A and B are shown apart, each in its own frame.
Chain A
């Protein structure tokens, strides 16, 4: 264990030192994107690893991005206050939708499709309120001169890299914290059999709500950060079903059951897109998603634990018996 902690510390020092040694803006840009999206995928996997497959996270991401930007542009509220407000908005929305879902035992396909409706609503609302949000043309937070701490706008990519690194690290820490807390045991019991878990004294609704709330808050933060960094958002890049599927896909390819799985997923997907973009230029439009899609299908059929999860399984011998909810037969309650 202490060896693992040492490895983490060394890796972190290396990551913090990286921009001061190698400060190529393009590489830093890629790293910032990877870190922000890793954080978003990690927040999805916090729910997803327990069988709570949500396609509504595109909605939370969109709320995080748009609420922060709208508050700054229209009311002049600094993102330092706007980001917590946008996270609160996403959290409230998550509770409004999730509470009845869990209360009435909406699981499996039904849960996926209800959350799909949620991200559909957010996308349509952003498009419909085009007088404020610019609709499908996208939206740009107002520039506050060059670099401004109040506006959370920095020209220096190194600062963004360090911010993204800190947030990403916080995401991993939260993942570990949940992994070691009672929530994990409760959620694993729930994902295997809700009734049995309830009979064993697990408050099914409360545990699921906790995990959903944490996941939604983190996703909104990721959306807000993405908006502050890119300084341009459009409904299609931060909300809707395609973004939700993209999150699910990257998390699954990397591996949902290990802490760094979503990060590996983000590295693979973003590098793949960049390599194809550089290699083929505008001819590459669509090719990256084509490769994604094929990979996603192949992964679900052959490597349901994702790349990192499978690699860890191979290197560890003898293989640990899989935990119940990772086995082939997850009974999904249906009516």
Chain B
């Protein structure tokens, strides 16, 4: 009995820590979506598909062009950032005055486009980057370096965005326009330019997430569906546009999935997380950190 408890505790601790590590990447994704929502007031339903394209980018750069991982990563971040800007320019900009639901559904169309583009261009088989990082053993617990690296890089990415938003002129303008869309243009700020920059940053964050996720998961055209929905739920749980709420919600969700998966199948972890989300929507409809009106 005693030995059973010991093992249980270690697995439990391992699951908790793995949850935190997963939370880092989820928080990165949530930050990108929140940034776009907060500034442009649009939900990119296809956000996870941008990540998927980035993962394919990493795969081809590393496997076919033989680039080392560290050289391919910036290229992919740039590529997905351009993709984000293009998405804004081609799809969102013409719809800025349309009902919000239409913008959301249009990005749903982009989701179809990106998924089927990947199917047509890359095929439906699972592709693996082929980089195996060693596993860190800590006592009886095992953590893959891929997850540790992802966590660290995700944190760095978030700190970078935070510094950009608070320490640069453009960042300040972005925060200002998120607060008041009507007044900022009168202050001489060009909202179109800021929207494009924000979309590019959002895309860049998706690209960074792609570089990190490709270390842990195989890439296939529908990989976005496995973490896309969870990212939206995190953003809504944290309050759309609320960066800190999204950050906390990412870790809450990651822990639920990780611990749920410990006690049962991984799917039940997701079911728990989705159920938790629906219950939370009723308790705190405007997000974890919102004040009740």
Contact = CB atoms under 8 A, between A and B. Distances in A.
Interface of A: 51, 53, 97, 100-101, 104-106, 108-110, 112-114, 116-118, 120-121, 124-125, 127-128, 240-242, 245, 248-249, 252, 285-290, 292-297, 300-301, 304, 328-330, 332, 335
Interface residues of B, number: 53
A297 B120 contact: no
Contacts of B114: 293
B269 to A, nearest CB: 9
A109 B43 contact: yes
B105 A248 contact: yes
A252 B97 CA distance: 19
Interface stretch (B65-73, B169-177, B196-204, B277-285): B277-285
Interface in B24-81: 37, 43, 45
A249 B109 contact: yes
Given A245-B111, A248-B108, A304-B102, A104 B116 contact: no
20 contacts: A104-B285, A108-B101, A109-B104, A112-B101, A121-B274, A121-B275, A124-B267, A124-B274, A128-B267, A128-B271, A285-B119, A285-B124, A286-B124, A290-B116, A290-B120, A292-B112, A300-B106, A301-B91, A328-B97, A328-B98
Contacts of B100: 108-109, 332
Contacts of A128: 264-265, 267-268, 271
B94 A118 contact: no
Contacts of A117: 229, 233, 274, 277-278
Given A242-B225, A288-B116, A290-B113, 5 more contacts: A109-B100, A114-B236, A124-B270, A286-B119, A296-B109
Nearest to B239: A335
B286 interface: yes
A110 B281 contact: yes
Contacts of B285: 104-106, 110, 335
A172 B236 CA distance: 35
B229 to A, nearest CB: 5
A330 B110 CA distance: 23
Contacts of B119: 285-286, 289
Nearest first, the 5 closest Cβ-Cβ pairs linking A and B are A286-B119, A293-B112, A296-B109, A128-B267, A293-B113
Given A100-B281, A117-B277, A245 B221 contact: no
Nearest to B233: A117
A297 B113 contact: yes
B232 interface: yes
B268 A53 contact: no
Contact of B117 (A290, A297, A329): A290
A252 B110 contact: no
B3 interface: no
B240 interface: yes
Interface string B102-145: 10111011111111111110001000000000000000000000
B106 A301 contact: yes
Contacts of A292: 109, 112, 116
A286 B106 contact: no
Contacts of B91: 297, 301
Contacts of A242: 225
A101 B281 contact: yes
Contacts, number: 160
A117 B256 CA distance: 15
B207 to A, nearest CB: 21
A104 B43 CA distance: 21
B26 to A, nearest CB: 15
B275 A286 contact: no
Contacts of A285: 119-120, 124
Given A114-B281, A245-B111, A286 B116 contact: yes
B151 to A, nearest CB: 25
Contacts of B163: none
A238 to B, nearest CB: 15
B108 A249 contact: yes
B27 to A, nearest CB: 18
Contact of A300 (B105, B268, B281): B105
Nearest to A246: B112
A256 B146 CA distance: 47
Interface in B217-240: 221, 225, 228-229, 232-233, 236, 240
A300 B110 CA distance: 11
A296 B232 contact: no
A285 B117 CA distance: 10
A120 B276 CA distance: 13
A44 to B, nearest CB: 12
Interface in B160-193: none
Nearest to B119: A286
Interface in B83-101: 91, 94-95, 97-101
B281 A289 contact: no
Residue of B91, B112, B271 contacting most chain A CB atoms (<10 Å): B112
A105 B271 CA distance: 24
Given A113-B232, A120-B270, A330-B99, A301 B116 contact: no
B2 interface: no
Contacts of A332: 99-101
Indicate the member of A240, A245, A292, A300 with the most B CB atoms within 10 Å.
A300
A86 B110 CA distance: 33
B290 interface: yes
A301 B281 CA distance: 31
For A105, A108, A121, A293, which residue has the most chain B Cβ atoms within 10 angstroms?
A293
User: Which of B43, B102, B228 has the most A CB atoms < 10 Å from its CB?
Assistant: B102
